[in-house]
Amino acid sequence: MSIIESFSRIRTARVGLPSADGLIPWFVPLAIVLLWQLASVTGFVPTRVLPAPSDVVAVGWKLLLSGELLRNMWVSFWRAGIGFLIGGGIGFAFGLANGLSQLSAKLTDTTLQMVRNIPHLSLIPLVILWFGIDESAKLFLVALGVFFPIYLNTLHGIRTVDPQLIEMGRVYGMTDSELFRRVIFPGALPSIFVGLRFALGITWLTLIVAETIAASSGLGYMAMQAREFLQIDIVVLSILIYALLGKLADSFARLLERLTLSWHPAFRKS
Amino acid sequence: MQQILRLEQATAEPVPRTEFTEHSGSLARPADQAQRGLALTIRDLRKSFGEHNVLRGIDLHIPAGQFFAIVGRSGCGKSTLLRLIAGLERAEAGTIAFDGQILANDIRVMFQEPRLLPWAKVLSNVEVGLGRERSSADAQARADKALVEVGLDSKRDQWPAALSGGQKQRVALARALVSQPRVLALDEPLGALDALTRISMQNLLERVWSDQGFTAILVTHDVSEAVALADRVLIIEDGRIARDFDVALKRPRERGSADLAALEGTILRELLATDNE
């Protein structure tokens, strides 16, 4: 058997085991958890500072059985989703309007750029005065935080669609709606996805802050309650769940990207 | 039957050919007419961008089915003339009259860049060329036929990103031809291709032109391309017609032949003459 043959065997063997490749990104997090467990068990890190991963898993299991964890996760997830839809929807609408119409851009863009420079979390005192610690307070903050990345990237995407393609579309007799559907929107989509992923990150950030400061349910509230009773394992648990939910949201956005941008060389599956 | 398109005041940006859509009530054309090119007559055409007069009065008649080439230095106004004919710009004064009824799909443009939609497969890119007839039942069959004509039927389900530069330009040609236009305006379509690909594209262009009989108007800075393809070569200088050459050589023309070289030399001398003054 020649060397070339054995090489090709190795290569086909690798192709046959894609799961090994998929596991590589999880190697570092897994190693960290193992090291952490080791440090806790040996007493190198006192459990008052950081509980062992096994303790965190145990308390997670307990809360899962009592239903408290799922209830709080659902509340947080619901807030994130609704806030995202409201803020993202309005941002997308303004992005489209200002990208397609000069008049609309002239009318609203300057105002929006001014509002953009206010850190939305600085509005928390005002929002509490307006809405109390009601649901609407959290939804308002999330929507406000999500609005700008979606707005800016939609606008940027539409403005940077290749004008030569637009001219081509017109020459070939496309109507305005057809031009939007076949040229402008697909051209703006990669940029819209960038905004989407930024916005997802901001959603969780806003929610954590809002729920820790002004809430009576949700993951952030659960963490704050646990702090009152020095239940550090629950605090760590909620932080880890935030990380997991953030990662899930990002994976979902990437899946959407891969499905809709398969034409783009950068997003093509290898 | 002569039909004059009135050219109104210049507007700031290129406008779609709304003039043509007015006459596009019936999309079907008798089969015997489909293969014929359109003649056009241009009278005292003028265009300026700001202070700069790009075209200073062009008078021209292009007979039906002629392969017509326009050469000139960059900035002489040759591309502007083509864009006016194709309806991509509006003139300040003058008329462009087509000899016959014009339908929406009768004039097609091929640009220097392929301008394919990167998010549409090759076949749907060709279907774009059908204009309003895109949604008709035989749209796909017609697009397929156009792809066969340029020899790219095997690539119909590929993304444009997977094609070479020459292949992309062939898809663009299929898109321009799929509606069986009667005038094809070519704005340096081969300018970005390498020398060998360019020659095979020239052969392809010549073949589809003689098959379909449309009027071809080619703007190019490559004089050898102009004399190899065209029945007639026009030199434009400073927005005016400087010379009008008939290329009375038989087809197929052999590249590198003495006759072509002699004519190319004459035209080049004419183009470079202003340098020596």
With H, G, I as helix, E, B as strand and everything else as coil, classify residue B135: helix
Residue A7: inside a domain: no
The answer to whether residue B15 scores a pLDDT higher than 70 is no
Residue A229: inside a domain: yes
Residue B44: inside a domain: yes
Residue A28: inside a domain: no
Residue A203: predicted pLDDT: 92
Best mutation target among A162, A170, A172, A192 (most B Cβ atoms within 10 Å) is: A172
Q: Tens of pLDDT along A96-144?
A: 999 999 999 999 999 999 999 999 999 988 988 998 878 888 999 999 9
Domain containing residue B4: 1-8+36-101+222-277
Residue B199: inside a domain: no
Residue A25: inside a domain: no
Tell if the CB–CB gap between B159 and A183 is shorter than 8 Å. no
Domains of chain B: total: 1
Tell if the CB–CB gap between A171 and B105 is shorter than 8 Å. no
Tell if the CB–CB gap between B119 and A169 is shorter than 8 Å. no
Best mutation target among A160, A167, A171 (most B Cβ atoms within 10 Å) is: A171
Query: What is the sign, positive or negative, of the torsion defined by CA atoms of B209, B213, B218, B224?
Result: positive
Comparison of pLDDT for B12 and A205, the residue scoring more: A205
Closest CA to B62 of B78, B39, B85: B39
Give the residue-averaged pLDDT of A188-193.
94
Residue B192: inside a domain: no
Residue B20: inside a domain: no
Closest residue of chain B to A164, computed from CA coordinates: B115
Give the residue-averaged pLDDT of B122-131.
93
Taking CA atoms, A8 is separated from A1, A2, A4, A17, A144, in Å, by 11, 10, 6, 14, 55
Residue A10: predicted pLDDT: 45
> A190 to chain B: which residues are within 8 Å by CB?
none
State how far residue A155 is from chain B, nearest Cα, in angstroms: 20
Residue A36: inside a domain: no
Q: Tens of pLDDT along B194-217?
A: 989 999 999 999 999 999 999 999
Residue A240: inside a domain: yes
Q: Tens of pLDDT along A58-99?
A: 999 999 999 989 999 999 999 999 999 999 999 999 999 999
Q: In this structure, are residues B40 and B98 in contact, taking their beta carbons and an 8 Å threshold?
A: yes
Choose the closest CB to B115 out of A168, A173, A187. A168
Q: Of all residues in chain B, what percent carry a pLDDT higher than 70?
A: 86
> B175 to chain A: which residues are within 8 Å by CB?
172
Confidence (pTM): 0.79
Residue B105: predicted pLDDT: 83
Report residue B129's pLDDT band, with 50, 70 and 90 as the boundaries.
very high
State how far residue B159 is from chain A, nearest Cα, in angstroms: 6
Residue B52: inside a domain: yes
Residue A87: predicted pLDDT: 96
Residue A64: inside a domain: yes
* Partner B, chain A 19-58, Cβ-Cβ below 8 Å: none
Q: Tens of pLDDT along A6-19?
A: 444 444 444 445 56
Q: How far is B204 from B218, CA to CA, in rounded Å?
A: 14
Partner B contacted by A190 (CB < 8 A)? no
Taking CA atoms, A242 is separated from A213, A254, B136, in Å, by 16, 18, 52
* Partner B, chain A 122-161, Cβ-Cβ below 8 Å: none
Choose the closest CB to B117 out of A165, A173, A261. A165
Best mutation target among B115, B126, B159, B184 (most A Cβ atoms within 10 Å) is: B115
Q: How far is A83 from A77, CA to CA, in rounded Å?
A: 10
Tell if the CB–CB gap between B115 and A183 is shorter than 8 Å. no
**In which residue are the tokens 């262009």 written?**
B205
With H, G, I as helix, E, B as strand and everything else as coil, classify residue B208: helix
Residue B276: inside a domain: yes
Closest residue of chain A to B118, computed from CA coordinates: A263
Give the residue-averaged pLDDT of B10-21.
39
Residue A3: inside a domain: no
Q: In this structure, are residues A151 and A188 in contact, taking their beta carbons and an 8 Å threshold?
A: no
Tell if the CB–CB gap between A264 and B118 is shorter than 8 Å. yes
The answer to whether residue B6 scores a pLDDT higher than 60 is no
Q: Tens of pLDDT along B132-191?
A: 888 888 889 999 999 998 999 999 999 999 999 999 999 999 999 999 999 999 999 998
What is the average pLDDT score of chain A? Answer: 87
ipTM: 0.80
The answer to whether residue A165 scores a pLDDT higher than 80 is yes
Q: In this structure, are residues B201 and B168 in contact, taking their beta carbons and an 8 Å threshold?
A: no
Q: Domain with B49 in it: what CATH number?
A: 3.40.50.300
Domains of chain A: total: 1
Residue B121: inside a domain: no
> A167 to chain B: which residues are within 8 Å by CB?
14, 88, 115
Residue B246: inside a domain: yes
The answer to whether residue A198 scores a pLDDT higher than 60 is yes
Tell if the CB–CB gap between A167 and B131 is shorter than 8 Å. no
Choose the closest CB to B14 out of A167, A169, A172. A167
Domain containing residue A164: 52-267
Q: What are the two backbone dihedrals, phi and then psi, of residue A139, each rounded to the nearest 5 degrees? A: -60, -40
Question: Which stretch of A78-87, A193-202, A211-220 has the lowest confidence by average pLDDT?
Answer: A211-220
Q: Domain with A67 in it: what CATH number?
A: 1.10.3720.10
Q: Tens of pLDDT along A15-53?
A: 445 567 778 888 998 999 899 999 998 988 888 888 999
